[in-house]
Chain A
Amino acid sequence: MSASTPFALLANASSLPWAEVPAWPVTEFVRATAGELTRGARLCALFGVPDGAGTRLVAVLAFDADNTLAVARSTPFSGAYPSLTVTHPQAHLFEREVLEQHGLTPMGHPWLKPVRQNNGNAPANGEFFRVDGREVHEVAVGPVHAGIIEPGHFRFQCAGEEVLHLEIALGYQHRGVEEALTGGPHLATMSQMETVAGDTTIAHATAHATLMESLAGTEAPLRAQWLRAIALELERLANHTGDMGALANDVAFLPTSSACGKIRGDFLNLTALICGNRFGRGLVRPGGCRHDLEPERAAQLLERLKTALADTEQAVAWFWDSASVRARFENVGVVFPAQAAEIGLVGPAARACGLVRDVRYDHPAGWHRFAQAPVAVWPGGDVFARARVRSLEIQRSGQYLCEQLAAPAEGDLRSELAPPAPDTLAVALVEGWRGEVCHVALTDAAGRFRRYKIIDPSFHNWTGLALALRGTAISDFPICNKSFNLSYCGFDL
């Protein structure tokens, strides 16, 4: 499929000179990108790069079945261009973002609004999509939510209990992460990468470190790649377990809720055993890792891991064995497979629609070239399926960890990196616990970042939550939301 593409091909975690990226006038660029998407490619990133008086658009596509990525760019332009969203809805937020950041207007885009911009007193407080009718009412929730959760605004159009449409307005968490990267890397860059989405520290840190290694023309020592893979699965286990507990809580099944809340902490403490921080801060650095997992520490980790896995297995079994829980999850918050493919869902949310889509399997980099876990897939697209996929991934991550801890890579943990190559584009994908974390870096003539693009899986998946709510009772919003559990700050950057 990818063999005949006019795009430049590259593998995950690799780079190519900016000059070798094919450039076409924007109309041709949009047409070619649409053509590849129609043939089954997936849009990982679409963003602008200022160039002279104009801006170039850059598209990064994934040909999952061919295990390859593809990249192309437009020639610099300003003003308007034909919207890709009209034929390929997975581009809709990317095009809104490009408008906000570079002022380029996608002609024909059906819902052109800012993504994170401060609009008066708060972001995106512009026009919301409204459904009219005597029985229709509107429910506004947020930005501050009724719990210990990040801020975002939800606007429901309802007929009685039924949600006809949900529009999600984010941007409240905007900290200027991408803007600050231009001219970098800076002293604070690594810490900022670790806090792009704080519950996805390892995935974002690994993506950034991999880019820096790729730009230096090397890769991290094998032992560091092994350790990163271990930390990545611990991160997945902690978050999935926490979410299983949260789902149980939202259907008032308290035994699993109580147990999982505690076991989540046990998994976080395993990450802290490696590096001192429960979220993995300070572990991954460009060129390798900063803390080693010595044999005694690994043995302790394995022992505690097995206990925590057994506890999880039991707590999750109570939950699945209960007919009242299953009944609350089945056929609630359905995203159809065709919709999921159309909007470009990633991660467990996509796999719960039966889409076999996992970076660890499709685009293996680092340690995943040598050791993989089976992809967890479930059909149905409902809350039940998303919970099932999480549940399966807990088992498989646990199994993977036990195997990998038994066979550590030897050697150095860190290598010195050469300065980043000038005028080079690098791409790194990592399968975080929510799905595909994508970092793209473009260096200038001095080897500094000319443009750095971060796409958290939440950027793809918030639309999935909005679609899941259609036709669902508004009282089911909490379980729908929990089954996705998306990041606000990862989206807002």
Chain B
Amino acid sequence: MFVIDTITHRLKRGCETMAYPKGPAPALPDRHGGALKVDASKCADGCNACIPVCPTRAIARPPGKPVALDLGRCIFCAACVEVCPTKAITQTGDHRMAVRRREDLVLGESGKEQVRLAVALDEKLRKLFGRSLRLRQVSAGGCAACEADTNVLGTIGWDLGRFGIQFVASPRHADGLLITGAVSKNMELALKKTYDAVAAPKIVIAVGACAIAGGPFIGHPQIHNGASALVPVDLFIPGCPPHPLTILDGLLRLLDRLEDKPRVASGAN
């Protein structure tokens, strides 16, 4: 094997980076289902079929109020979709799910059937981070799946570097944190210290059901039920784990690097 062979092999493969976001987004796997949509007006009177099947207790229907599904807690098992007799809960196939405010993930009532997609950072932060965002990743009670599908964005297929986004080896080099995991109490100190070590202004991104709300471990005394318990979060990206496309969409949306505008404007900035 000579160097020339290596180079020839590599040239034969050509450019393997996807066209997105200039071209169309790659399709989600057909059984993925994408974001959920909840139309509480379709719920039958007194029906609670979806509530007991949800493993993370993401669905509630307080007496006299419409059903509410918290997509932040959702692990996308679709058990609720299967049992819903009136098709009030449906899969949209949409990969876009990132939001700026926690409450924008609660679906159900009229006008709030779907997630209220994230708006971009304000102008000052966009000027700072829009073309160069350096993130420090902290896994705090993560299972390595959110980590893996964040890592995959660095491979040649996704090539996160082309957007100026990079994961760095020190909080001192970073503009913000990307947190995965339910935030175990044993990581509390490390997470706080890492956050404090990042120079202001800084942003925090919570990736996955665990980092948003504790995921399958919600309520365990050993965890903090997500990153918000310790640090202010600027972007929530749901999933278990989120598809890489969902994570990328969230990052680009935050930096205002996407053409499509949010379906429903969010008040946050």
Contact = CB atoms under 8 A, between A and B. Distances in A.
Given A144-B194, A188-B55, A197 B217 contact: no
Contacts of A121: 189
B241 A198 contact: yes
A181 to B, nearest CB: 11
A148 B147 contact: yes
B25 interface: no
A262 B158 CA distance: 9
A151 B187 contact: yes
Interface stretch (A32-40, A48-56, A270-278, A343-351): A270-278
Contact of A322 (B1, B56, B136, B139): B1
A190 interface: yes
Interface in B39-74: 52, 54-57
Nearest to A193: B216
- Among A173, A187, A488, A492, the one with the most B-chain Cβ atoms within 10 Å of its Cβ is A173
Interface residues of B, number: 67
B22 interface: no
Contacts of B114: none
Interface string B128-150: 00000000111111111111111
Nearest to B215: A195
A282 B143 contact: no
B223 A176 contact: yes
Interface stretch (A128-136, A253-261, A464-472): A253-261
A199 B148 contact: yes
B243 interface: yes
Interface string A458-493: 000000000000000000000000000001110010
27 contacts: A116-B186, A123-B186, A144-B136, A144-B190, A146-B169, A148-B154, A151-B187, A173-B140, A174-B141, A174-B184, A175-B217, A179-B220, A179-B222, A188-B216, A190-B55, A191-B55, A195-B143, A195-B145, A195-B215, A199-B145, A242-B148, A258-B10, A261-B156, A262-B155, A265-B157, A276-B31, A489-B141
Given A143-B187, A173-B141, A261-B152, 11 more contacts: A148-B150, A148-B167, A151-B138, A179-B222, A187-B57, A192-B216, A195-B143, A195-B216, A259-B13, A261-B157, A488-B144
Nearest first, the 5 A-B pairs at minimum CB distance are A198-B143, A276-B31, A198-B145, A321-B1, A146-B169
Interface of A: 116, 118, 121-123, 143-144, 146-151, 171-177, 179-180, 187-188, 190-192, 194-199, 201, 242, 255, 258-259, 261-262, 264-265, 268-269, 272-279, 281-282, 291, 314, 318, 321-323, 487-489, 492
Interface of B: 1, 5-6, 9-10, 13, 16, 29-33, 52, 54-57, 75-78, 136-152, 154-157, 167, 169-170, 181-182, 184-187, 189-190, 194, 210, 215-218, 220-223, 240-241, 243-244
